[in-house]
Amino acid sequence: MTEAQHVQDAQNPEATESAPPVAPRGGRRGRPAATIYDIAKLAGVNPSTVSRALSKPGRINVKTEERIHAAAKELNYRLNPMARALPTGRTSSLGLLLADITNPMFFNVVRGAESAASMRGYTLLLAESQESSEREAAAAERLSPSVDGLVLVTSRLSDEQIVDLAAQRPLVVINRKVHGVPGIVPDIEPGIEQALAHLGGLGHTSIAFVSGPENSWMNRARWAALLDRAPALGMTIVEIGPGKPTLEGGATTLARVVAAGVTAVLAYNDLMAIGLMRAAQESGLDVPGELSIIGFDDIFGSDFTSPQLSTVRTPLGAIGDQAVRLIMRLIDEEAGGPPPLESDQPLVTEFVVRGSTGPAAR
Amino acid sequence: MTEAQHVQDAQNPEATESAPPVAPRGGRRGRPAATIYDIAKLAGVNPSTVSRALSKPGRINVKTEERIHAAAKELNYRLNPMARALPTGRTSSLGLLLADITNPMFFNVVRGAESAASMRGYTLLLAESQESSEREAAAAERLSPSVDGLVLVTSRLSDEQIVDLAAQRPLVVINRKVHGVPGIVPDIEPGIEQALAHLGGLGHTSIAFVSGPENSWMNRARWAALLDRAPALGMTIVEIGPGKPTLEGGATTLARVVAAGVTAVLAYNDLMAIGLMRAAQESGLDVPGELSIIGFDDIFGSDFTSPQLSTVRTPLGAIGDQAVRLIMRLIDEEAGGPPPLESDQPLVTEFVVRGSTGPAAR
DNA sequence: CCCGGTTTGTCAACCGGTTGCCAAAATTGG
DNA sequence: CCAATTTTGGCAACCGGTTGACAAACCGGG
């Protein structure tokens, strides 16, 4: 019998000598990673003492503790996170759920989150919903049992679904407000106010909002703020959309933008703004000569275009960072720690003037 | 006593009735998530039978299996991945280690990897090394015990470190070749050949390579290929660098590029190319009139610039996808499954002509 | 109706940590 | 020098699954 056909002959009755262990001891790799039992044997103490020495500094006699640490170092010991998670329920990892990884808006959010998490010894589990609420729900289900908390970035889930999820474990939503669920939302007012003032100063009186996904909370929030402020500043405003929050989504609105006869548009996000700008230029329209365009977020690449895109900047990195810090506070609080007290600095948006806005064509 | 001050009175001595379990049963949330024991009770069978019914279809009587599935559904059961991972050693998750999350080159790699992973029921753990080999090593250590395999994307580790890591568990490197370690590397030759032919056709005879990080394998590979091919096509070529693989890294080489008197440059990646192009334009140099610029990768935004960037496209999404598929083959193989047989389609690069290249200034 | 062979489900051990409880050892004080 | 108190470390149970071994139940055939 060759060594290769290792399975198949299971019910062999004379396999009585020293039954092999359940798993092939670390998957036929080098030796099987030290455990606290190995350390205990080497240091001549009980495994529970090792556990305490390693995770409850001070609980154990200094001399013993030193001996154990030395043994651990010698064996190159690494704690098995899964073994710890089982009895304690704490996994030291966070789930991050994104609508679309390739949308540059997420880059900085992810980076901010990753750095805040790894600084505190937490690991990030990543999942993408590709703008689909079913996939997002499935991903949340999948991640949920393995994490201490969940961060939803521009979720496409319904409020009820989010509330249900939040009932199971600590959860923070980004760019959305859901009643009773902690969320991180930048203050969009200042940026919008500045953007509208800028347009007003350039003589624009008739503008449009190219809107994004219908089920995006942030999309509605931006539109609501514009609807509230634009008339107050003496401008008329119309909504064009909804559309996909992508380059194509922006490009396909061109005909309607032109038809609406507006002199300036704000798009739901930079991607749509850039898509629209390129479509406009391809059809011979001058930006900003004949049409001023403003985006949202100030994503990577928004200053690559020609003209560079004027946009309402969102502090994306800070958002990711604060979301993670907030969820860790929730986790600590739930574990019986002190209630949160430190409050984070506010997240404000700001209008960035670049080249895609100019005097209104009359 | 208000409901809010929930802790603080721990050492209460008369807490003798029914000692609470170790963990507060799911962290004072709604009920504690069903286990196979709950299902067993409900279905009137042994827990081990439940385990088999759920993970070894066919091992159990159809009727019993149905009953168990019904009970599982009723209790809204989710398997606890950690509890499974402990005895089996299989975690169903993969670690992805990136040099820099904000570099757009990773977006598509991550997306390809995430989609391949989630399709197979795997979860991605993400870590960033921020271009530092120490941080990368630390992150690998941290992730390693929790994953079935590791994917290193443009690693900044030394070959030895990578070999050591690969000895511990399945590992795949992207954009790098390390002896004895499986890797996914696109074939850079075709794209480079096409790019050089393109430049040659435009009359360029003196070109430069703006190089990236010294410890980047791919940087050396690109330079080596250029060094090999350019003279064969009758061009002289010089290396300028090394530099950081960022916009600034590219911009700061401008003086040296100009001083070198070349008419065209290839940059290590699109980011550097774009940085260089912008610096050139700011200093009044015409691109491509006075200097032709070519990047590598074709990242998001490389066609936003004006002129749009000519670049050697790398199939980033396919790379992420294949890396994950490869590592899953390694995992299966190690678990005693069949050896890999299907071979993936080749990953070739291709030159994309856009606007940043033109006839040589003479 | 009995026998050998196959299905089916139970038992119990195990993965690698954590922690409540307790007893032995060390320390303090009178 | 002994009682009271505090430190220290061991025992054993537990987290939620998986799996080898085994026995009971079931099957068809002679």
Q: Is residue B346 part of a domain?
A: no
Burial class (CB in 10 A: 0-12, 13-18, 19+), B206: middle
* CA→C1' distance for B44 and D25 (Å): 17
Which of A 41-60 have CB under 7 A of nucleic chain C? 47-48, 51-52, 54-56
Residue B6: per-residue pLDDT: 34
Do A82 and A100 share a structural domain? no
> The tokens 């502090």 sit on which residue?
A315
d(CA B104, CA B302) in angstroms, rounded, equals: 10
Looking at the fold, whether A47 and A160 belong to one and the same domain comes out as no
pLDDT of residue B130: 84
What's the number of CA atoms in the CB half-sphere (13 Å) around residue A109?
Answer: 28
Residues 6 or more apart whose Cβ sits within 8 Å of residue B290: B263, B361
Name the nearest CA neighbour of B50 among B62, B32, B64: B64
B128, B75: one domain: no
Residues A32-44 have a mean pLDDT of 93
Beta bridge partner(s), residue B81: none
Q: What is the DSSP string of A291-340?
A: -EEEEEE--TTTTTSSSPPEEEE--HHHHHHHHHHHHHHHHHHHTT-PPP
Total domain count for chain B? 3
pLDDT in tens, B236-271: 999 998 999 999 999 999 999 999 999 999 999 999
Q: Residue B215: what pLDDT?
A: 87
Is residue B322 one of the residues assigned to a domain? yes
pLDDT at residue number A33:
87
Q: Which residues of A269-298 are buried (b: 16+ CB within 10 A; e: fewer)?
A: bbbbbbbbbbbbbeeebebbeebbbbbbbb
B-chain residue closest to A334, CA distance: B27
* CB-based contact B23 A88, cutoff 8 Å: yes
Task: Please determine, for residue A166, whether its predicted confidence score (pLDDT) is greater than 80.
Answer: yes
Q: Which residue matches tokens 């954009």?
A: B175
Q: Which nucleotides of D are covered by protein (CB under 7 A)?
A: 7-21
Say if residue B18's pLDDT is above 50.
no
Q: Which structural domain range is residue B36 located in?
A: 3-87
Measure in Å the smallest separation between the Cα of A235 and chain B Cα atoms: 31
Predicted local distance difference test score (pLDDT) of residue B14: 33
* Distances, alpha carbon B4 to alpha carbons A233, A338, A339, B24, B223, in Å: 46, 10, 9, 17, 64
Please report the pLDDT score of residue A333 as a whole number. Answer: 85
Residue B341, in any domain of the structure: no
Is the CB atom of residue B47 positioned under 7 angstroms from any atom of strand C? yes
Test A143 with B123 for CB contact under 8 angstroms: yes
Q: What's the whole-number mean pLDDT along residues B34-50?
A: 94
Whether residues B304 and B223 fall in one domain = yes
Same domain, B276 and B326: no
pLDDT in the model for residue A22: 41
What's the confidence (pLDDT) of residue A27? Answer: 47
Residue A136: which pLDDT band, with cuts at 50, 70 and 90? very high
- Span CA (B86) to C1' (C16), Å: 7
Tell me how far apart the alpha carbons of residues A110 and A101 are, in angstroms, rounded to a whole number: 9
Higher pLDDT, B29 or B144: B144
Q: Which positions in strand C are less than 7 Å from the protein's CB atoms?
A: 7-21
State whether the beta carbon of A185 lies below 7 angstroms from any atom of strand C. no
Confidence at residue B343, expressed as pLDDT on a 0 to 100 scale: 62
- The residues of the protein lying within 7 Å (CB) of strand D read A 10, 15, 19, 22, 44-49, 52, 59-65, 86-87; B 21-23, 32-33, 35-37, 47-48, 51-52, 54-56, 77-80, 83-84, 86-88
**Region A261-276: what's the mean pLDDT?**
97
Residues B269 and B299 placed together within one structural domain of the fold: yes
Asked if residue B297 and residue B195 are part of one domain, the reply reads: yes
Long-range contacts of B285-288 (CB under 8 A, 24+ apart): B285/B258, B287/B356, B288/B355, B288/B356, B288/B357, B288/B358, B288/B359
- Please, what's the b/e burial string for B329-348 (b: 16 or more CB within 10 A of its CB; e: otherwise)? bbbeebeeeeeeeeeeeebe
**For residue A170, pLDDT beyond 50:** yes
With respect to residue A213, please indicate whether it lies within any of the assigned structural domains. yes
Q: What percent of chain B is predicted at pLDDT more than 70?
A: 89
Cross-strand partners of A351: A312
Chain B environment of A97 (Cβ under 8 Å): none
Question: What CATH number is given to the structural domain containing B75?
Answer: 1.10.260.40
Q: For residues A118 and B129, what is the distance between their CA atoms, to the nearest angstrom?
A: 10
Phi-psi region of B78 (alpha: psi -120 to 50; beta: other; left: phi over 0): beta
- Coarse DSSP helix, strand, coil percentages of chain B, rounded to the nearest 5 percent: 40, 15, 45
Q: Categorize the per-residue pLDDT at B341 as very low, low, confident or very high, splitting at 50, 70 and 90.
A: low
Q: Which comes out higher in pLDDT, residue B9 or A321?
A: A321
pLDDT tens digits for B265-319?
999 999 999 999 999 999 999 999 999 999 999 999 999 999 999 999 999 999 9
Between B358 and A341, residue with greater pLDDT: B358
**Reported confidence tier of residue A154, pLDDT bands at 50, 70, 90:** confident
Q: Could you tell me which of A217, A223, A225 has the C-alpha nearest to residue A189?
A: A225
Determine, for residues A169 and B27 on separate chains, whether the beta-carbon distance falls below 8 Å.
yes
Q: Residue B43: its pLDDT value, please?
A: 92
Neighbouring-strand partners of residue B124: A126, B94
Is residue A70 domain-resident?
Answer: yes
Which parts of chain A fold into alpha helices (H)?
A: 36-43, 47-55, 62-74, 81-88, 105-119, 133-143, 159-168, 189-201, 217-232, 247-251, 254-260, 270-282, 316-334
As a whole number, mean pLDDT of residues A189-211 equals 98
Q: Are residues A11 and A97 in the same domain?
A: no
| Cα–Cα distance, A206 to A217 (Å, whole number) | 25
Q: Which CATH number covers residue A132?
A: 3.40.50.2300
Q: Is the pLDDT score of A106 beyond 50? A: yes
3-class state of residue B318 by DSSP: helix
Helix A62-74 with A47-55: angle, nearest 10 deg: 100
> Could you tell me which residue, A338 or A120, shows the higher pLDDT?
A120
Q: Which nucleotide in the DNA or RNA is closest to residue B86, CA to C1'?
A: C15
Residues A211 and A295 in one domain: yes
User: How do beta strands B310-313 and B350-352 pair?
Assistant: antiparallel
- The string of pLDDT tens digits covering residues A303-353 is 999 999 999 999 999 999 999 999 999 998 877 656 555 567 889 999 999
Q: What is the DSSP letter of B120?
A: T
Residue nearest to nucleotide C20 (CA to C1'): B22
Q: What is the pLDDT of residue B73?
A: 94
Do residues B180 and B190 touch, judged by C-beta distance below 8 A?
Answer: no
Residue B339 lies in a domain: no
Q: Is residue A360 part of a domain?
A: no
Quickly state the pLDDT bin for B336 (edges 50, 70, 90). Answer: low
The Cα of A170 is separated from the nearest Cα of chain B by a number of Å equal to 9
Shared domain check, A301 and A203:
yes
The alpha-carbon gap from A264 to the nearest alpha carbon of chain B, in Å, equals: 21
Distance from CA of A16 to the nearest CA of B (A): 22
Q: Phi-psi bin for B16: left (phi > 0), alpha (psi -120 to 50), beta?
A: alpha
Q: What is the mean pLDDT of chain B?
A: 89
Angstrom distances, CA of residue A332 to CA of A148, B10, B82: 10, 17, 21
Model pLDDT, residue A215: 87
Same domain as A179, residue A97: yes
- Report yes or no on B52 lying in a domain: yes
pLDDT value at residue B81 = 95
pLDDT tens digits, one per residue of A234-252: 999 999 989 999 999 999 9
**At residue A196, does pLDDT exceed 50?**
yes
Assess whether A106 and A170 both reside in one domain. Answer: yes
C-alpha span between A240 and A262 (Å, rounded): 11
Domain boundary among B87, B105, B127: B87
- The Cβ of residue A253 has, within 10 Å, a number of other Cβ atoms equal to 24
**Mean pLDDT, chain A, as a whole number?**
89
Q: Is B5 exposed, middle or buried (0-12, 13-18, 19+ CB in 10 A)?
A: exposed
Calpha distance B305→B293 (Å, rounded) = 12
Tell me whether the omega of the peptide bond preceding residue A338 falls within 30 degrees of 0, making it cis: no
- State how far the Cα of B147 lies from the Cα of B170, in Å rounded to an integer: 9
The confidence score (pLDDT) of residue B13 equals 34
